[in-house]
Amino acid sequence: MQFIPEFSDIERARKLIEGYIHHTPVLTSESINKITGSGIFFKCENFQKAGAFKFRGACNAVFTLAASGSDMKNGVATHSSGNHAAALALAAQIKGIAANIVMPVNSSEIKKRAVAGYGAIITFCEPTLESRESTLAKVIAETGATEVHPYNDFNVIAGQGTAALELIEEAGQFDVIMAPVGGGGLISGTAITVKKLLPGCRVIAAEPAGADDAFRSFRSGKLVPSVNPKTIADGLLTSLGSRNFAVIRDKVDDIVTVSEEKIIEAMRLVWERMKIVIEPSSAVPLAAILERKVDVINKKVGIILSGGNQDLEKLPF
């Protein structure tokens, strides 16, 4: 199997998962356009099933494994504290197979309930990468389940690329398309789609300054691991994956970093002006625009709003 997907893999993913995923709407806001001096089209993956774009990649991974004749009777497994866990649980439920999810004990109650609500078998671990990985290895040894990595996975990347495909089909030409970067699943899938369909369109990743391993990797040309990242954008705490980095080096035009203050300001702006619920990770590209890290004046810009799983009791404003 190839290391990274091509656009044809994304087209194949779309055929496989359509009918299971939501074709999410593309929204615009006159007041945000006025504030930024640009025309921004928001692809609303906060409305996706399980509340985030992660369901695209999880579906494509599970359905591709099932269609390939892999032995799936022992189910799938992953470690995740958040959106990938819920997405994989729901995708497995659709195929009627078990989802074994390793979650740190300190994961939010709302996320634990969501994962359990999709029928997953949860094994709790300590909130360290070592504990997550060793617990997952033990679960896989015991169950025989197939691991589906949250982002450093061929089929997951191909699935995430379908969001940009829908965005371009619906809204046409763009000058710039942006997405947040954490592990890199969304931005790598997005870049493969955009550079095929709109070769002249710039692809820009936005990352919290407090979790800037992708930025440093991109600038240095070497994969820099994430050490003690700190950001309110909890979906972006993960370390960039090797497959994701390979795509980013080849197809992403720039990575910019943003402050925590601007992430919160951008998040609030979307809630107040667009009347939609997004989680902090989703706000990072707009934060980069507000912080003037990206030139968008009089340009047509696409932003993928990655998810909407925000605990309403823990708002930053």
CA atoms of 283 and 192, how far apart (whole Å): 22
Single-letter amino acid, residue 109: E
Stretch that binds a copy of itself, among 67-75, 237-245, 296-304, 307-315 (CB under 8 A): 307-315
Distance of CA 24 to the CA centre of its chain: 15
Q: Which is nearer to a copy of itself, 101 or 270 (CB)?
A: 270
- Choose among 225, 286, 228: nearest CA to 259: 286
User: CA angle, corner 302, sides to 298 and 308, nearest 5?
Assistant: 130
Q: Do the bridges between strand 76-79 and strand 146-147 make them parallel or antiparallel, or are there none, so unpaired?
A: parallel
Taking residues 48 to 77 in sequence order and writing x for each that binds a copy of itself by CB under 8 A, - otherwise, the string is ---x--------------------------
Window contacting a copy of itself (CB under 8 A); options: 79-87, 100-108, 157-165, 266-274: 266-274
Q: Is 314 in the site for a copy of itself (CB under 8 A)?
A: no
Shortest CB 282 distance to a copy of itself, Å: 10
DSSP 209: G
Q: Which of 67, 105, 127, 315 binds a copy of itself (CB under 8 A)?
A: 315
Indicate which single residue of 278, 283, 290, 296 sits in contact with a copy of itself (rule: CB under 8 A): 278
**Which three-class secondary structure state does DSSP give residue 100?**
strand
Say how many residues touch a copy of itself, by CB under 8 A. 17
User: Of the ranges 84-92, 168-176, 236-244, 308-316, which one interacts with a copy of itself (CB under 8 A)?
Assistant: 308-316
User: What's the closest the beta carbon of residue 317 comes to a copy of itself, in angstroms?
Assistant: 6
Task: Please name the amino acid found at residue 181.
Answer: V
The one-letter amino acid at 159: G
